[in-house]
Amino acid sequence: MTEGQKTPFIVREIREQFPALRQQVYGKNLIYFDNGATSQKPQVVLDAINKYYSKDNANIHRGVHFMSQRATTDFEEARKIIQKYIHARKSEEIIFTKGTTDGINLVANSFGDLLTPGDEILISAMEHHSNIVPWQMLCQRKQLILRVAPINKKGELITEEFDKLLTKKTKLVAITHISNTLGTINPVKELAQKAHAVGAKILVDGAQSIQHMPIDVKDMDCDFFVFSSHKVFGPTGIGVLYGKEDLLDRMPPYQGGGDMISRVTFERTTYNELPHKFEAGTPHIAGGICLGEAIKFLSGLDIDAIQTHEKDLAHYAQDLLDTFEGMRIIGEAKKKTSVVSFIMEGIHPFDLGTLLDKQGIAVRTGHHCTQPLMDFYGIPGTVRASFAFYNTRQEVDTFIEAVEKSIQMLK
């Protein structure tokens, strides 16, 4: 297959590349609807993990021997693969992190160091804890002010209220691209334009978007974009912070140690160039290489067909769930993707999720690290079914039957 040519989107054939999907749970064929928490891994990623540790296990950037040079080449090639996929200008703008949370904390500490008392940070009411707590910590440390843009009951950002809160005092807007609980797709390109109009920067939490839609950070014009490998079919413990080069150059390092330095004396240290300035210590080498493999795998698929398929699954599941008496869907935005969160009157989400598990269906229950959002809806949590391109309508049908059976048992 030539470069740029896409693999035909045939779900059956794609599923065959994910070994975890072929197992049974409690004697039932596994139905994995917890992709919002973590995704399964294709065989090419599993093979790459094995190859690194069995053949290329060496430290990078520092060694002159063959294995070190080969590992370094593969690690830096992964950076270029990611750069190309998200349309960053330079590979130096791709910083490897431990994941989305680590990327946000890096920005909170490094970009936050440039802020002064009285400056404001604007987030939304639908944020994951990882895009709330670091900013609260920064505000306490630097005497900043945290503003929260409200949402409506459908789970959509109230644009008028966002506009009122966005002022010349705002120095950073930090917002999720897609809500992990609601599935809401936020208009990040439009929000970036508004932020820049008042002189603010914008960070986009892409943990739930990069696996579901095309990402173009130049077109989006975001200043920062963060995501995690394990949600995009790669290994855990590795992620990416994209930042505009000029901005990253102005930010001080977040951590000190090896590889992020140019020269060290006991009197002073000068820092390395991008991206190494923000990558102190030995990185998750296998993770970075295998994230590159995961992105390469994803880039070989038709992302538009993926979007259509996943939205179809979500709409199909939501329409069927809506037929149950006492069912309440949480998150009904006009623009949403492959997440369906719901609660059933008189039934705790944990109980329903437990019975679904016994029938071989993996869903997530609880507050999904969005406790303020649960408080807004006045609920303890939800059952969340989150879909990936390897899920099918037949699985949704089985899921609906299992929900009905579970409700009958719990009523």
Catalytic residue numbers read 369
CA distances from 151 to 123, 126, 263, 396 (A): 11, 7, 49, 29
Instruction: Give CB contacts under 8 A, 24+ apart, made by 83-87.
Output: 84/299, 85/215, 85/295, 85/298, 85/299, 86/210, 86/215, 86/216, 86/217, 86/225, 86/242, 87/215, 87/216, 87/217, 87/218, 87/219
Contact 210, 242 (CB under 8 A): no
Residue 51 buriedness (CB in 10 A; 0-12 / 13-18 / 19+): middle
Angle between the 66-86 and 43-55 helix axes, to the nearest 10 degrees? 150
Phi (first) and psi of residue 199, to 5 degrees: 85, 10
Residue 328 buriedness (CB in 10 A; 0-12 / 13-18 / 19+): middle
Angle between the 285-299 and 43-55 helix axes, to the nearest 10 degrees? 150
Facing residues of 123 across strands?
Answer: 148
